[in-house]
Amino acid sequence: MSPGTTTVLFDPDTGMYGTVVQPLLTDLYQITMCYGYWKSNKHNQSSVFELFFRKNPFQGEFTIFCGLRDVIMYLENFVISDEDVDYLKSVMPTAEPEFFDYLQSLDTKQLKLRAMKEGSVCFPRVPLICVEGPLALCQLVETTLLTLVNFASLVATNAVRFKLAAGEGKILLEFGLRRAQGPDGGLTASKYCYVGGFDATSNVLAGKMYGIPVKGTQAHSFVNSFTSLAELDNGKVTLKSVDGDKDINLLELSIKYIEEVKKILDIPETHEGELASFISYASSFPDAFLVLIDTYNTIGSGIANFLAVALALNQAGFKASGVRIDSGDLAYQSLVVYNLICLVSDRLDIAWLKSVSIVASNDIDEETLYSFKDQDHRLTSFGIGTNLVTCLNQPALGCVYKIVEIDGKPCMKLAQEVSKLTFPGKKNVYRLYGAQGNAILDLISTDREPTPEVNKPVLCRDPFLATKRAFCSPAKIQEILTPVWGHEGCLITISSLKEVRQYVLDSLKTLRADLKRKLNPTPYKVSLTHELFEFLHEQWLQNAPIGQLD
């Protein structure tokens, strides 16, 4: 696997992993347009394209920009091979042979990219990436850039929303691989859920490739596979104590403690096979004993069996990690489970028992997490899969990639829907902050204008409503688009996933709470300078055909 590979598939013929992020990961019309440009001798015209989205996902008022590191890796490894050309010739049999020579001569170092910092909060219509260079090459990279940014930004935003819904101090575990849209979707989701604030993944390959912490214990099948204590071998469930001074037989101690626990909790009987499975698992992972307790009966069996084995481990100097509940009323069960743990902890004077984790899973979504906050519960961690990695509430972000300038002349897309109109020309973007450190608005300007100045009023215009305007005197100004790629290749130090993850958290802190709330969040303002406003409307009038009324 080559360094920097972001997306892989396994090739059973070679036994190797190979990247699928390559020049042919594109739509055919990008290549047919390139041929049209080449035939018309327009392919080397200087052009400017912008990648942006028109509406925040999940009915929210912010998005997290992700995928830039993958874009850089794609550009660094851009090579159209002989095999690629052979395939393209079969798809485009009437194309002139010299066109394919031209394709193989393309060098992404002819491009210049400016972009937001990865992990930034971002907003509709604000360019995330600005691409400058020869027209055909700028066109050719469109689909790949979109596919690298769209889902990465969407799933990172979804992860952030889950994190906000869960609340401070809660541990979030991504369990989505089995429900993701294929191996590529699973890997991308694991990667960017971590960036969005999740603490670990169950995806082992994602852990290996990206350095994400991995977590996982057992499924119901492990518990179901044991039927009685007779299946356990005394020798294999004997542990050395943490200090190494003695041997501890977990089976004997667990049998002793289950009787004691049943009396304390007033539980007549527990499932013997479940207890056997817990003992087996504890002997395998004594320092990470976390088990699924709802296979038969969470309150009537699972919690008692857990406590018996936890107490046996305690004799060896190990502290159990916790329990997981995967069905039923999770909030209510967590309260009962916690109270039962406290009862045993107090009766036997083992204080640390009260600190074990209570993990919830079972099709948890954003609404469920908010409902937990409204209830009294003792859940400390959440394992989340389907609704997180598939972005079930909104499966696509809708980033677009539009030409805004050709040979120094502005380009503008018009449409019946004003929302699909594009802002013409090459632009700069600034984020203006107030005295308290909160972002006030994003201001888009032409590239001809001077940079706004701190504490000096700047007129900010709504893009479409002439009467909506205001002066802003920012306490701080941040230039949003900075050079990331040029003739020398990558112009930035590629941030690690941990660094991007931290930047997401830092970036979110600049937003007021009312912008981040789930119900009726306050819209964030994206404004134009007065000069760009006038330029936009001038170009609009010039490009819009005059109608005829009969």
Question: What are the tens digits of pLDDT across the range 491-526?
Answer: 999 999 999 999 999 999 999 999 999 999 999 999
Amino acid at 207: G
pLDDT recorded at residue 4? 38
Sign of CA dihedral 390, 394, 397, 398: positive
pLDDT recorded at residue 221? 98
Residue 344 has pLDDT above 50, yes or no: yes
Every domain range in the chain assigned CATH 3.20.140.10: 8-159+394-543
Provide the pLDDT confidence category of residue 548 given band limits of 50, 70 and 90.
confident
Closest alpha carbon to 213 in 200, 226, 229, 231: 200
Residue 1 has pLDDT above 50, yes or no: no
CB 468 within 8 A of CB 461: yes
pLDDT recorded at residue 418? 79
pLDDT recorded at residue 235? 80
Tell me the H-state helices in 380-435.
Answer: 386-389
Provide the pLDDT confidence category of residue 537 given band limits of 50, 70 and 90.
very high
Rounded to 5 degrees, φ, ψ at 195 are: -60, -40
pLDDT recorded at residue 219? 96
E-only strand ranges, 369-450: 381-384, 400-406, 409-410, 427-433, 439-446
Name the residue with tokens 């039923």.
328
Rounded to 5 degrees, φ, ψ at 132 are: -125, 140
pLDDT recorded at residue 244? 87
Count of other CB atoms within 10 angstroms of residue 296: 16
Q: List the 112-115 sheet strands across, edge first.
A: 409-410, 400-406, 46-52, 129-134, 112-115, 482-486, 489-490
d(CA 16, CA 1): 7
Residue 117 has pLDDT above 70, yes or no: yes
Closest alpha carbon to 136 in 26, 23, 41: 41
Name the residue with tokens 């979110």.
508
Residue 163 has pLDDT above 90, yes or no: yes
> Percent of the chain having pLDDT more than 90?
90
Please provide the size of the chain in residues: 550
d(CA 126, CA 52): 6
- CA 388-180-69 angle, to 5 degrees, is 80
d(CA 111, CA 200): 36
- Taking CA atoms, 73 is separated from 21, 22, 68, in Å, by 9, 10, 9
Tell me what the mean pLDDT of segment 53-58 comes to: 96
Rounded to 5 degrees, φ, ψ at 165 are: -70, -35
Tell me what the mean pLDDT of segment 60-68 comes to: 98
d(CA 184, CA 188): 6
Which of 1-10, 51-60, 152-161, 421-430 has the weakest average pLDDT? 1-10
Find residue 476's DSSP bridge partners.
433
Contacts 24+ apart (CB under 8 A), 463-468: 463/125, 463/423, 463/526, 463/527, 463/528, 463/533, 463/536, 464/418
Find residue 240's DSSP bridge partners.
247
CB 220 within 8 A of CB 292: yes
Q: List the 458-461 sheet strands across, edge first.
A: 469-472, 458-461, 525-529, 439-446, 427-433, 476-479
CB 212 within 8 A of CB 190: yes
Q: DSSP secondary structure string, 25-65?
A: SS-HHHHHHHHHHHHTT-TTSEEEEEEE-SS-GGG-S-EE-
Every domain range in the chain assigned CATH 3.20.20: 217-358
Q: What is the dihedral of CA 377, 380, 383, 386, to 10 degrees?
A: 40
CB 235 within 8 A of CB 249: no
Provide the pLDDT confidence category of residue 489 given band limits of 50, 70 and 90.
very high
Count of other CB atoms within 10 angstroms of residue 388: 29
pLDDT recorded at residue 6? 44
pLDDT recorded at residue 18? 53
d(CA 141, CA 26): 8
CATH architecture of residue range(s) 8-159+394-543: Alpha-Beta Barrel (3.20)
d(CA 253, CA 504): 47
Tell me what the mean pLDDT of segment 53-63 comes to: 97
Average pLDDT, the chain: 94
Residue 2 has pLDDT above 60, yes or no: no
CATH C-level class of 217-358: alpha beta
Give the side-chain half-sphere CA count within 13 A for 353.
26
User: Over the stretch 261-288, which tens digit does the pLDDT of each residue have?
Assistant: 999 999 999 999 999 999 999 999 999 9
d(CA 85, CA 83): 5
CB 491 within 8 A of CB 441: no
d(CA 336, CA 198): 27
Tell me what the mean pLDDT of segment 92-111 comes to: 98
CB 323 within 8 A of CB 303: yes
CB 276 within 8 A of CB 226: yes
User: How is residue 431 written in tokens?
Assistant: 């984020």
User: Model pTM greater than 0.85?
Assistant: yes
d(CA 65, CA 254): 51
d(CA 451, CA 459): 13
